[in-house]
Chain A
C-alpha cells in the first residue's frame, strides 16, 4: 500500500433500493493535497463523503481512508479524520471555550492538551475578546473559522469539509481558504466539497461528479485545457450539460 495516498477509492458504489446514488467511483488523494470534490446538488457528493467518513456503509467497492478499510475499520478512521459539516455545527448555547473543550474531550485529548489547544486556537483566530461568549452571538464567518479549527483539534491526517463556505461573503471566504492553505502546509490532507467554482481554482486537484459518477479528475489547469474553458465554471457547465 502506498503511504503517500491517504485516500484510496476503488469502484465505490452506494445504492438506496434501485437508486444508484454513487456509481462506481475510483480515485486517490495524496498526502497534504487539497482535493476538491465538485458536483451539482444531488450529484452524490455528500453520499460519497459519508461513506469515506464512516457514517454510511458502501453497497460495494473498496475504500481506504488514512490506511484503514471503511468496511471493517470505521472506528480507526474516525480517530484519524476531522469533519466539518455544512451547518458549521457548534453548540450555540456553549461559549467558544466550552465548545473547544467539549470537542477536544470527545476526541480523547488530555485536559492539559485541550487547554493548550484552546489557547493557541483562540489566539490564532483572534477570538480572545469573545472566548467566554456564547457561540450563538458570533457572526457566521467567525463560527465557520472556529468550526474548522475545532475539526482540526485532534491533529487529524485528513479533514473533510462539506461545503464549508456556504452563505458567507467573498472576503470571509478568502480568509477561510487561507486557513485551509495553512493546514495543508502543515501536512493535513484537505478533502473539500463545494459548488463555488472560483474555490475550485484554489484546489490542487478537483474531481467533478455528475449523476453519481466522476466525470473528470485533474488539476484545475489541465481540466481547463482539456475542456478548452476559460475558467472552472465553464468546465463545470460543459460537463453538466453533457
Chain B
C-alpha cells in the first residue's frame, strides 16, 4: 500500500508538471462546454424572413400573424413578385421566404388542401433546417386549431419533409456528448500516452524489474486518471447546472456510477492502445483516430444514428460512447432510472469486461 501511494504521488507530479496535460485535463472540458453551450447553438431567434403572399386572404393573414407573433421570426419585408425572391436572398437580408400559393383559403376549403413553399437560404444548412422545422411546427399548430371544430380535416401542406425534433431545440443535448468526449479523452488518451511515455523513456523496464507486479504498475498508472476523470465529470455537470440552468432530472448517484463504468471502459481501451503502440505519438494518433473520431461522428452525439446509412448504424453499436450517451441522456434529460437503461448499462459493462480482458492478455504477451 505504501508503495502504491508513492507511485500515485509520482504520477501526480508528472501530470501537474506538464502544462499540456494540465490544459487537456482542465482547460479542455471548460472550453468545450462553454463553446458548445454559447457559440454552437441550434436555436434560432428573431430570424429575418420575407413573405410572398399570392392570396392575401383571411387564412394567409392569420398564418402570417402567427409567424410574426412568434419569437423565432421577424418579418422583414413583403415580396410581391416571384422574381424578387432571388434578389432578396442575394442581398442577404433574409434567411427564408414563405411563398403562399394563389387562392390559399379557397383551396383549403374546396380541396381541403393548400400549399406553402418554404424557401430557405441553405448556405447555412443547419439554420435552414431549423427554420423549416420551426415554420412547420407553427403551421401544424394552426392546423390543429382549424380542425378542432370541423369534421373533415383541412390540410395545410408545407412543402418540406422535416419532422420537428424537440431535442434539437436546446443546448442541453451537447452536455452529455461533451461529457462523453472529455471522459474518453482524459481516460483513454491520457493513460495510453502516460504508459507509452514510460516505455519510451525506459522507465517501464525499470519498474518491471522492480518487485512491483505488472498489474500494480498499471493500476498505479491509471488510478490518477480515474480520479481526475471523476473530477472532470463533476465540473461538467456543475457547469451545465449553474451556467446553462440545465437540470439533472434523474439520480445523481446513478449518473456517477454510470460515469465511473464508462471511465473504466475508456481506461481499458487506453491500456490496450498503450500495449500496441511504441511511442507517445503513435498512442496519441491511435487514440484520436481510433477513439475520438468515432465518438464524435458515430456515437449519435452530433449526427443522429437513425439517419446514418445502415452499415454505419451497425458499426455504431460497437462504440461504447453510443451506449453511454443514451444512458446519460436518459438520466440527465429524461430523468429515467436504471429500469429504463439496464440494457445499455449491461452492454457497456460487457464491453468494459471485454476490453479489460483483452488488454490484460495483450499486456501479458508483451511481457513474454
Contact = CB atoms under 8 A, between A and B. Distances in A.
Interface of A: 53-57, 75, 78-79, 81, 83, 85-94, 98, 101-103, 105-108, 134
21 contacts: A55-B209, A57-B368, A78-B209, A78-B210, A83-B205, A83-B209, A85-B202, A85-B205, A85-B206, A87-B201, A89-B203, A90-B203, A92-B201, A93-B14, A93-B17, A94-B14, A102-B10, A103-B210, A105-B3, A106-B207, A107-B210
B13 A89 contact: no
A89 B206 contact: yes
Contact of A108 (B2, B202, B213): B2
B211 A107 contact: yes
B209 A81 contact: yes
Interface centre among B5, B18, B203 (most CB of A within 10 A): B203
Interface in B287-319: none
Interface string B1-28: 0110111011001100110000000000
Interface of B: 2-3, 5-7, 9-10, 13-14, 17-18, 201-203, 205-213, 367-368
A106 B367 contact: no
6 interchain residue pairs of minimum CB distance:
A87-B202, A105-B6, A89-B202, A83-B209, A89-B203, A93-B17
B210 A53 contact: no
Contacts of A85: 202, 205-206
A55 B202 CA distance: 14
Given A75-B211, A108-B211, A89 B10 contact: no
B172 to A, nearest CB: 40
Given A83-B206, A92-B201, 9 more contacts: A55-B367, A81-B209, A83-B209, A85-B202, A89-B201, A89-B206, A91-B203, A102-B6, A105-B6
A interface majority secondary structure: loop
B71 to A, nearest CB: 54
A106 B368 contact: no
Contacts of B2: 105, 108
B interface majority secondary structure: helix
Nearest to B13: A94
A76 B72 CA distance: 74
A71 to B, nearest CB: 13
B207 to A, nearest CB: 7
Nearest to B14: A93
A53 B211 contact: no
Contacts of A107: 210-211
Contacts of B202: 85-89
Given A93-B18, A105-B6, A53 B13 contact: no
Nearest to B10: A102
Interface centre among B13, B18, B207 (most CB of A within 10 A): B13
Contacts of B212: 106
B223 to A, nearest CB: 15
A106 B17 contact: no
A13 B156 CA distance: 85
Given A93-B13, A106-B212, A55 B205 contact: yes
Nearest to B200: A87
A105 B209 contact: no
Contacts of A134: 17
A55 B208 contact: yes
Contacts of A91: 10, 13-14, 201, 203
B67 to A, nearest CB: 62
Contacts of B5: 105
A65 B193 CA distance: 34
B35 to A, nearest CB: 30
